[in-house]
Each structure stands twice: as C-alpha cells, then as structure tokens.
Amino acid sequence: MKSKDQKFLLYKVLFFKLLNLFLFSFLFFSCNSEINQNPETYRNPIISGFAPDPSICRVDNNFYLVNSTFEYFPGIPIYHSKDLINWKLIGNAFDTIHQNVKMDTINSSAGIHASTIRYHNKLFYIITTNNLNGNMVNFILISDKPEGPWSRPYILNNAPGIDPSLFFNDDGKVWYTGSHVPPDPEFDGQAEIWMQELSLDQMQLVGKKYYLTRGFSGGTWAEGPHIYKYGDYYYLMISEGGTLHNHAVTISASKTITGPYIANDRNPILTHRHLSLDHPIIAVGHGDLIQTQEGDWHMVVLGFRPIEKKHKNLGRETFLLPVTWETEPYWWKEEKIRWPVCSPKTGRVEYEYPVPFHGTRQVKINEFNDDFNEEKLNVEWNFRRTPTAPFHSLIEKPGFLRLYLKEGFIAEQAQYSFVGIRQRHFQMEIKSKMEFVPLGDEEAGVIVIQNDRSAYIMSLMDGKITLNHFYHGKKSILVSHPYENSTVFWKISADYLNYDFSYSQDGKSWIMFFDDVDGSKLSPESSGWTYTGVYVGMYGTSNSSISKNYADFDWFYYIGSSQ
C-alpha cells in the first residue's frame, strides 16, 4: 500500500499533467483557430481567400462544396462540412496529370470555370468547363467518394459555352444546363441559358436542345444556371450582370422542366448592385441553393471583400446566407408561385447570421503547417498549370520538399517551379526554411503571386539575397544583400496592402529585408484582370540555363488573423 506521501506525490504529478494538457489545448486552439465568441452566430465568408463560383450538395447530414480553380492544379477543391459553417478541404477532383486535363499552356484565369457538384444514386458528379484559351471543353468527373479518386473526364460533344450544371429529375432523366453566346445576340455580352438531356449510359447529350432564357434583369452575361424542384415547380436560378459590381442572382419557375419559365417579378432575388461602390462586400452572385434534412434552405454565393474600397487581392470568396420561401401575395394572379427570398431580414449578404444548426459553433482554422513528412503533397498545395513533368519530390530527401529548378522565369502560358497555397487572410505571416546551393544565375526562395503579371520573389542567388518584383513582363530588383550561407530562413508578413520581407540565418534573429512593399500591385486593378486570388509559396528558377539543381525546403508555416 502506498504511503500518504506517495499518494500526495502521485496526485500532484497527475494534477500538473492535467494542467499542462489544459494549457497546451488552450494555447493550441488560441494560436491555430478563431472561435466565434457568439455561439449563436457564424461569420462570413465561410471559405476565405480565392474560393469563387461555389456549388454545394448534401448527402444525409454531410455537405460538400466545390470552387473554381482556373489555371491552378490540382483543381476543383472539395470541402466537407457537417454544419455549413465549418469546412475542411478533403481533396481535389482532378489531381493527376493522367486524368488528361490539358492545362499546361493556358493563360492566367483560363482553365477550370464554374464547377457544379451533385450526388445521385450513390455517386458524386462534378461537371465543369475547361477554358483552353478560348476553346471551351465541358466534361464530367465521377466518384463514389467525395475525396476521390475521381474518374477520367467524360468530355461532352456539342456542348458549347460555359458553366454547366446537372439536374437529376424524379422520372430518372438527367438534364444539362449551360450558358452560351447566342448566334444572334441583341448586344455585346448577352448570353443564353440552354438545356439538353444527358444520357448516363453514353455520357453524352442526347435529344433536343431547349433555349430557356437570355436573362431577366438586363440579360448581360446570363450564366451559372442551376435547376431545382420545389413543390410543383421547377426553378431555374442564374447569375447575371458579370462578376463585378453588377453581379446578381435571378430566378424563374415552370411546371415543365423544359419551360417556358416565368420570371420572378422581384428579380433579382440577390444583388449588391444597388449599394454604394465602397460597400464592404461587393459583386455577390453565382449562387447555389441547398436544403438541410430539417427542411431549412440556404444559399452559397461568391463575393469580394475589397481593401480600401478598391483592391481585390484575396479574390472572390464563398459566403453563406439563409433563404426562405414566400408565396406571391397578388390576389389578381390565378397562379401564385412560391419564390425564394435571400437573406430575408436585410436582402443583402451580411457578415453575421444565426448558425444554421443550433448547438454548433464556428471555429475558423487560421494556421497551416507542413513539415513535408508525407509521401504526397498536402491537398492545400497547388501548382500553376498542370505539370508536363514532375518538378518536385518528397522522397528524394525525406522530410523535405525538393523543388527542381525549371528554365525561365514567370511568364504567360509558362511552366515554372512554383508550389503555393492561397492567401486566406488580409493579415498573415509565412515562414520557411530552405537549403540551396545556387549555381550561376540560379535562384530559389519564397513568393507572393497574383498571376503571371505580378509577383514578389525573395530568393537566394549566388552570394546574395534579392527581392524582385516581376510586373507585366519586367523583373526589377528592389533590394539585394550579401549572403554566403546555403541555409536561409524566410518570412513574409502581410497587413492588408503592406507586405514585409525578412530573412534569418538561424530562424531566431530576423533581418528586415524590405518593409511596406506595395500590395496594391497584387490587385486585379494593377496586375491585370484575374479570376484568382493571391498565393504564397515556394519558387525556384535556373533562369536562362537548363539545370538539374534543386532547392530543399524543410518546412512551411502559415498563420493568418483578422478575417
């Protein structure tokens, strides 16, 4: 039997272990996540930093959401949620070059446009457009698991235009809807929504094409169509007005799926076009509706959060808003239709709403850390364009990401050695440790990039560290310091439009390399229009020579704040 002193010592040790566990948990969640202080509300955006064109589906109590990715690869991220407010990235719909999605020489903001995800008969379907520099290819991917693996693309013949969607009808028929430029547009920018039956056996469109509408609120860029069934009616919801300030969501209804469709007199059902240009959330649109098992309705939409009323560095993000249905009150109408009402209290997308499910709480994960100990890249990482050949390795030096240097510098339609993640916060910091022995003009380091026209690169070259700004085809050295070591620690900090660049020899004592770099150059207003958002990551180039050299990155750390 233990003595009283032994028992006291045992309890004392146990107490301090529990105390340490509590303090560790508190610090972990304080540093890695942001818990909404009001348990009854959630805060938009639900997916921040380059998450445009959201589409959503439900399987029992699970929700799945996808976004457009344009020139980035792997493409079409798939997020999972149980409560519509906490989302986890679980995979990408195409993540292997063997799927033969040919995006190796596409322009900035070409590539994957406006994907739609649907679930039917134990299978997930994603349908999307691949814009190959103006040649629109619509295809379908299929999987029995949302995280993948996904099938090869089933390319659809005679499917012109963009923004395809699928609707699985009660009678077993499957319908394709899309947007195209009509042969006789009434004005520049007019588009038309069309529909055709899809044969799942042939994985091709069959039968007659139906032309449904050219829009209900001006008709400019009628796009992003989705079909829903509610009560006795089919509803056609589309976006109009382009993807800037005039963006809007409109809706129409029909008792026959192929129409004719009756426009809602209250269109648009969602827009911020009537608000001031300096509103904190702008250009909302491209919505998709979802119903919970409890019968409640919600909509996901894209929108910008501009910096200083203008700059759109983070790109379009995903917002969630409540939806109710109301029957028309007009006594003179024989046919009274129920219509969705978006954000019923205010009619606009708000930063804060009541949580969709009582008892849930929003926890936003603000940190990403990769020590490269896996044999496959984390799903957060992207390349620019599909690689023609592998230029990275996680097995050549275990515990490191080896980035092989490609010839040439950043350029339109080019292949270059880049691995990055989305900048998801206006205020953020990244750090990384790199080992690299440059030869000749070779360089490697870290990068902040908007598109092929604007990027800041802090890199180690032969005997020096440099900060370059690549801007519209020209490479300018902003600062250069002597540096003789082959190991360097990198740090980049962002505070809205101000970026600071630092380096260190030991990871403890930091040298401010250049502060308050102009982040407005990473905005579409100055870098040239883009559908994407800012990325941060790792970069290397042999510049003008062919090289077998490489840079090894030991780890990469990202933390953000101030959603």
- Report, as residue numbers or ranges, the catalytic residues: 53, 223
Report which secondary-structure segment, H or E, holds 23: helix 4-32
Do the Cβ atoms of 321 and 302 come closer than 8 Å?
no
Instruction: Provide the 8-state DSSP code for 10.
Output: H
Cα separation of 292 and 521, whole Å? Answer: 42
Provide the pairing of β-strand 535-543 with 406-407. parallel
Q: Which two tokens stand for residue 10?
A: 């045992």
Beta bridge partners of 367: 559
Q: Which amino acid is at 80?
A: H
What amino acid occupies position 449? I
Name residues whose C-beta falls within 8 Å of residue 229's C-beta, 6 or more positions apart in sequence.
167, 169, 170, 235
User: DSSP assignment, residue 189?
Assistant: T
Q: Which residues of 28-63 are buried (b: 16+ CB within 10 A; e: fewer)?
A: eeeeeebebeeeebbbbbbbbbbbbbbbbbeeeeeb
Taking residue 486's Cβ as centre, other Cβ atoms within 10 Å add up to 13
SS3 337: coil
Do residues 162 and 224 make contact, with C-beta atoms less than 8 angstroms apart? no
Q: What is the Cα–Cα distance from 454 to 475, expressed in whole angstroms?
A: 10
The Cα 208–Cα 191 span in angstroms is: 19
Q: How far apart are CA 343 and CA 346, in angstroms?
A: 6
